[in-house]
Every structure is written in structure tokens, then in C-alpha cells.
């Protein structure tokens, strides 16, 4: 069989609760905050630029969180791993220009076609074969390149918004440096509490957000299938999900001593894309940053539990997306940037160690440099080209490293 078997027996509520602790819950909360802040801003900006109305945007956010949250809970349960799914941010970047000359219905048709393609690749097993071609150091160099911006944005926040980023960082470092304090208050939660207290004391939210509680009303989109939309979007979307986005997730999980079910993840991305596409949402993917925050602490056997917490939070966010979206986007940008940067410190450290401490070092370096360059070729982002060029250089120059790897 090409699809990986489930990890039985499935954990019940009592087992899930016993596998959680304050640090893991803190990581889950911060991971969710990260997913529901900056990425949501990108999503809303692309939708607005494409002429979508409030109802369509709310439906897009609903699909991005509620559909993927349900898939995340299911996958975490049946595989006992932190398999959290959200939407492809590079895919949103691809969709933005397409909305200028394609109808939204044509774009939705491309979402569905991409979902079907990914599901078929997972069922046939071709995804695992393709992913197996890329050595772990090269994949982790791409991960380091993608995540580097989170670290540098944190430094920029310290320089430009010291009044907020400074105290958050100081509290984080203090709780990390004094284990007795850190065991009682997880460093990330300490930084979060201090940040909220400071920006509320300084005047609160930016603008005048409408924070009244209201349920979302999803809009079902009728797909339209056109050759232009298929040619422009299907292959690039599939590449960004299966190689770039899922590649990040697989790299993060592998470095944390997990064995992610590559084929089933592709199937889940396909099914999620089909379901989310019906409410206008871009394709599903295995998230790299969110899973990276989850696996930053605790034992591997526990990591599935905070993944379930993230899935539950995503479900709630999707159902009440109007109020939660405005709440998060109205917080100072430096708050989100600092919180994400602090959460990524250990992840960046692990990525650099994995990328540059063994074989394929030159290929990993090329991958890292191309990824951080943020170039785009053929409407495909730098992370994908980092993998391509890094692999090519390593294959040409570091042949001995490939010879040492098991077939």
C-alpha cells in the first residue's frame, strides 16, 4: 500500500490531556497566533486587491481555518504526530496577479483541479519518491532561509519599537535563563502577557476594530474550468504545496525525530483543497512555521497533543473569523513580529545545525542563499528554486555525499 498506516490505538481525551503541559499549550497558542496574524493580513490584502467583498473574504478565512483545523485534528489523532495544516502563502501570492485577469470562479476551478492532482499523487506514492530525492541538509537549508526573516524582523522590531519589543524580549530571556521561573511561566506566554499589557496601556488597538461576536456565513463558490486558469495556476500551486510548503513541514518534523506520512499528507492536502476551494480558499498545505513552534519543546511522543489544540483553535477562529481577524490585525505589528521571532529562535538554531553540520554543505549553502534572495522565476518563489539550485550544485560537486546515502 502507498498510504501509510495509522498509529493505533487512537488516543482518547484522557490521554491527550495527559500528554499536554503548560509549555506545550503555550507553544500551541503562540503557533496559532502566528498563523492567525501576519498570514491573515496577506490573505486579506490579496483578496481585497482581487476585488473580493466582505462576504467572500470572510468565507476565505473560514475555509483557511475551519477546514484545515478539522483536517489537522484528524491527522494528529490518527498518526500521533504534529500534522497541522493551513493554507499556502506562496499560493496566495500566485493567485493575486491571476485575479487581475481571471474571474474568481476560474481561480476556484484551479483550486479544485490542484486538489485532485495532489490527492492522486499521494495515492500513487509519487510524492514520497520525489521528496526522497532531496537530502535533509538541503531541505533544512531552505527551511532556515524561509524562517530567517522571522528572526530579522524581531531584530528590526527591537530597533524600531523598543518600547514594546524590548520588554517582551527581556521577559523571554529572563524566563529562559532562570529555570525555576520558566517552569512556572512558559517564556513565550510571559512575553505575550507583557506585550498585551504594554500595548493596551499605551492606547490599545490600532484603529477602531468592530469586535462584536458574530458567526461567519460561508459563501459557496461555483467553479469555472478554463484552460488559461489551469495552465497558469495548477502546476505552480501544486509545486508550492508539495515541494516548497510541505517540504518545510517535512524538514521540521524530521529534525524533531518524527516520521511524517508523506503520501497521506499529500492526500490530506488534496482533500482539504477540494473542500476549502468550494468556499473560495486557496489550497491546503502542511505548515512549516506552525509545526516548528509546536515541536520546539517537549518529547516527540507528546507533540501531537498541541497540534490538536491548534486545530481546535483554528476551528473556533474559522467560525468566528470576523471578530478574531479584526482583533489580531488591530494589534501593533511589533507585537506579532516579536512573538513570532522569539518562538523561532530555537527552530532557526536547529535548522542551521541540521543544514551545515554534515554532508551536502555546499548544496545547503546555495539553497540557503537562493532562498533568502527572495527571487521569483516563472511565478514560482525563491524557496522552490533554492531547492532546485542547491540540489543541482550538490549533485554535481558533492557526489560522494550522495554515494553514502542508502537507496
Residue 67 vs residue 143, higher pLDDT: 67
Mean pLDDT over the full length of the chain: 87
CB 207, CB 319: distance < 8 Å: no
Choose the weakest-confidence range: 131-135, 176-180, 392-396.
131-135
How far apart, in whole angstroms, are the C-alpha atoms of residue 119 and residue 219? Answer: 24
| 368, 386 contact by CB (below 8 A) | yes
4 found inside a domain = no
- Domain-embedded: residue 66: yes
Share of residues in the chain with pLDDT > 70 (%) = 95
Total domain count, the chain: 1
How far, in Å, CA of 114 to CA of 120, rounded?
A: 10
pLDDT digits (tens, 9 = 90+) for 113-133: 999 999 999 999 888 777 777
- Taking the alpha carbons at both ends of the chain, their separation in whole angstroms is 19
Q: What is the pLDDT of residue 1?
A: 56
What angle do the packed helices 361-373 and 333-356 form, to 10 degrees?
160
- 297 near 20, Cβ under 8 Å? no
3-state class of 280 per DSSP?
coil
Name 164's Cβ contacts closer than 8 Å, sequence gap at least 6. 157, 195, 198, 199, 202, 332, 334, 335, 338
Return the pLDDT at 335.
85
Q: Is residue 7 part of a domain?
A: no
Residue 329 lies in a domain: yes
Residue 1 domain-assigned?
no
Q: Is residue 397 part of a domain?
A: yes
Q: pTM here?
A: 0.76
Confidence band of 211 (pLDDT split at 50, 70, 90):
low
Dump pLDDT digits (tens) for 232-254. 888 888 888 988 789 889 989 99
Residue 21 has pLDDT above 70, yes or no: yes
pLDDT at 361 over 60: yes
The rounded percent of the chain whose pLDDT value lies above 90 is 44
Q: Write the CB contacts of 109 (distance below 8 Å, at least 6 apart in sequence).
A: 223, 224, 225, 226, 229, 230
DSSP collapsed to 3 states, 341-406:
HHHHHHHHHHHHHHHHCCCCHHHHHHHHHHHHHCCCECCECHHHHHHHHHHHHHHHHCHHHHHHCC
pLDDT category at 44 given cuts 50, 70, 90 is: confident
pLDDT band of 8, cuts 50, 70, 90: confident
What are the tens digits of pLDDT across the range 257-286? 999 999 999 999 999 999 999 999 999 999
pLDDT band at 405 (very low <50, low <70, confident <90, very high): low
Instruction: Please state which of the ranges 1-5, 27-31, 73-77, 257-261 shows the lowest mean pLDDT.
Output: 1-5
Q: Does residue 75 lie within any of the structural domains?
A: yes
Task: Give the structural domain span for 157.
Answer: 13-404
* Cβ neighbour number for residue 4 with a 10 Å cutoff: 17
285 backbone dihedrals φ, ψ, rounded to 5°: -155, 160
328 or 136: whose pLDDT is higher? Answer: 136
**Residue 85 — φ and ψ, nearest 5°?**
-115, 140
pLDDT higher at 381 or 40? 40
Asked if the structure places residue 8 within a domain, the reply is no
Best-predicted range by mean pLDDT (23-37, 174-188, 195-209, 282-296): 282-296
* Confidence band of 301 (pLDDT split at 50, 70, 90): very high
Q: Strands, DSSP E only, in 7-108?
A: 85-87
Quote the pLDDT of residue 282: 93
DSSP string over 171-216: HHHHHHH-HHHHTTS-HHHHHHHHHHHHHHHTT-SSS---------
The cell for 352 is: 542551521
Q: Per-residue pLDDT for 328 more than 70?
A: no
Write down the H helix ranges in 99-186. 104-124, 126-131, 136-160, 162-177, 179-182
| pLDDT tier, 336 (very low <50, low <70, confident <90, very high otherwise) | confident
Confidence category of residue 139, pLDDT binned at 50, 70, 90: confident
* CA within 13 Å, CB half, 291: 31
Q: pLDDT band at residue 342, thresholds of 50, 70 and 90?
A: confident
Amino acid at each position: 500500500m502507498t498510504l501509510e498506516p495509522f498509529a493505533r490505538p487512537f488516543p482518547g481525551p484522557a490521554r491527550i490531556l495527559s500528554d499536554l503541559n503548560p509549555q506545550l499549550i503555550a507553544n500551541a497558542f503562540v503557533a496559532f497566533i502566528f498563523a492567525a496574524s501576519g498570514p491573515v493580513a496577506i490573505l486579506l490584502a490579496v483578496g481585497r486587491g482581487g476585488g473580493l467583498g466582505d462576504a467572500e473574504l470572510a468565507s476565505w478565512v473560514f475555509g483557511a481555518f475551519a477546514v484545515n483545523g478539522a483536517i489537522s485534528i484528524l491527522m494528529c489523532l490518527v498518526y500521533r504526530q504534529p500534522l497541522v495544516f493551513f493554507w499556502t502563502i506562496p499560493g496566495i501570492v500566485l493567485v493575486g496577479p491571476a485575479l487581475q485577469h481571471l474571474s474568481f470562479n476560474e481561480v476556484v476551478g484551479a483550486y479544485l483541479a490542484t486538489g485532485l492532482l495532489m490527492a492522486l499523487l499521494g495515492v500513487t506514492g509519487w510524492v514520497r519518491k520525489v521528496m526522497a530525492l532531496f537530502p535533509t541538509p538541503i531541505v533544512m537549508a531552505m527551511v532556515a532561509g524561509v524562517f530567517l526573516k522571522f528572526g530579522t524582523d524581531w531584530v528590526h522590531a527591537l530597533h524600531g519599537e523598543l518600547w514594546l519589543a524590548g520588554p517582551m524580549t527581556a521577559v523571554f530571556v529572563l524566563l529562559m535563563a532562570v529555570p525555576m521561573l520558566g517552569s512556572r511561566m512558559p517564556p513565550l506566554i510571559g512575553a505575550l502577557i507583557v506585550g498585551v499589557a504594554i500595548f493596551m496601556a499605551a492606547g490599545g488597538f490600532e484603529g477602531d476594530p468592530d469586535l462584536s461576536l458574530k458567526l461567519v456565513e460561508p459563501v459557496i463558490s461555483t467553479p469555472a474550468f478554463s484552460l488559461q486558469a489551469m495552465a497558469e495556476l495548477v502546476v505552480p500551486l501544486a509545486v508550492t504545496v508539495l515541494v516548497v510548503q510541505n517540504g518545510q513541514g517535512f524538514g521540521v518534523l524530521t529534525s524533531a525525530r518524527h516520521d511524517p506520512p508523506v503520501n497521506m499528507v499529500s492526500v490530506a492536502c488534496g482533500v482539504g483543497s477540494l473542500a476549502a476551494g468550494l468556499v473560495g480558499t486557496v489550497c491546503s498545505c502542511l505548515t512549516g512555521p506552525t509545526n516548528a513552534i509546536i515541536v520546539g519543546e517537549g518529547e516527540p511522543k507528546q507533540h501531537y497533543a498541541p497540534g490538536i489544540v491548534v486545530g481546535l483553535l483554528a476551528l473556533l477562529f474559522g467560525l468566528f473569523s470576523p471578530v478574531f481577524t479584526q482583533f489580531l490585525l488591530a494589534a501593533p505589528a511589533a507585537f506579532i513580529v516579536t512573538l513570532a521571532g522569539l518562538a523561532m529562535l530555537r527552530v532557526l538554531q536547529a535548522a542551521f545545525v541540521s543544514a551545515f553540520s554534515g554532508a551536502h554543505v555546499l548544496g545547503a549553502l546555495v539553497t540557503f542563499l537562493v532562498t533568502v534572495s527572495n527571487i521569483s522565476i516563472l511565478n514560482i518563489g525563491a524557496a522552490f528554486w533554492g531547492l532546485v539550485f542547491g540540489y543541482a550544485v550538490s549533485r554535481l560537486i558533492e557526489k560522494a555525499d550522495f554515494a553514502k546515502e542508502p537507496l
